Amino acid sequence: MNQKLTKVGHPTQLYSVEEMRLTGGKGDGMRLLQLNNGAGLQMTLLPDRCLDPARLTYKGVNLGFFSPCGYVAPAYYDRHEFLRSFTAGMMTTCGLKNVGADCVDEGEECVTHGRIGHTPCEQLAYAADYERDDGAITVSGVMNEAIIFNEKLQLRRAVTMRQNNTITFEDTIVNLGGEAQPLTLLYHINLGYPLLDEGVELMLPALTTRPRDPRAAEGLAQWREFPAPEAGFAEQCYYHELKEHGGEKSAALYNPRLGVGLRIDYTADTLPYFTQWKMCGVRDYVLGLEPANCHVEGRAKMRADGTLQILQPMQSVKTGLRFTIFEGDEAAAAVRSEIL
């Protein structure tokens, strides 16, 4: 027996995963999984929203952006008004049939950022392994994006939080239908205050950078900088080609005032695209760091460009990413030297 277990009445004194439900408002009835690694890291997963992380805090410091929409259950999802149910949270999974702007592709209506992020998971399972030295907490679930006469896509997700302050997301997407299907996938990672603030350091090993549109081109020279909130600020998006190392690509944000940073590592071969979303509005203060297998201009444009990924019947794709929390200038220097 783990000797630590002899000192506690209930093992959740060490680290825990607990399930609860929301009451009231647009989040009424939604399941929440609260994970606590016992080392300062706490995360809220949403089984009813693609098992995405809504909240992430480290030693009381909030790391993600929680939008004015708040928690929004799938029942309130309106495919014509995506932003009214865009909780954002620490991460929103976008896809699987479209990423970015709505469009019409080969006669099919493709909605903004797809439907998977509003899809509840099935076969939910979770556990904290108190016999392991790394304090692993594991959560898994299955999301089905399926309809008669069209796609039968399945996203299988496994999430693991450890006491070394890492969180891994391992995803497998499978085409369970009899016809080939387009596959678009983007991890909409959203960093917010107080981690995101004036004077933060964005560690992004960009080999090339391209503004999405004329508005983004206006701030091309300042894409690494994050100013104070500005009323009426119009979003800016940049496409970066990031340096690869050991089969992965990486990005990080460090707040020297707080001495806290977040590093993101993800699989390079399955997620060749990376979008930076810079939004410095009043109460819309968020930095999006978004690994993907596509750009954010809609499926029709990806098809026209010849870059749209197609998943054949029974074909699967495995992909994933990892969050690592780091503390202090020395740790930040180590991250900087590794990824820049």
Domain with 109 in it: what CATH number?
Answer: 2.70.98.10
The answer to whether the beta carbons of residues 167 and 323 sit under 8 Å apart is yes
Distance separating alpha carbons of residues 297 and 113, to the nearest angstrom: 10
Distance separating alpha carbons of residues 209 and 53, to the nearest angstrom: 28
In which residue are the tokens 């399955």 written? 270
Give this prediction's pTM.
Answer: 0.98
Task: Give the pLDDT confidence score for residue 108 in this predicted structure.
Answer: 95
From the list 120, 119, 185, the residue with the least C-alpha distance to 319 is 185
Paired tokens of 318:
């495995």
The total domain count for the chain is 1
Task: Give the pLDDT confidence score for residue 166 in this predicted structure.
Answer: 98
Paired tokens of 75:
């029942």
Q: Which residues contact 62 (CB under 8 A, 6 or more apart)?
A: 55, 56, 192, 193, 194, 195
Task: Give the pLDDT confidence score for residue 131 in this predicted structure.
Answer: 86
Task: Give the pLDDT confidence score for residue 3 in this predicted structure.
Answer: 82
User: Containing domain of residue 166, as a range?
Assistant: 3-339
Q: Which amino acid is it at 283? A: R
The low-confidence residues of the chain, meaning pLDDT below 50, are none
Task: Give the pLDDT confidence score for residue 132 in this predicted structure.
Answer: 85
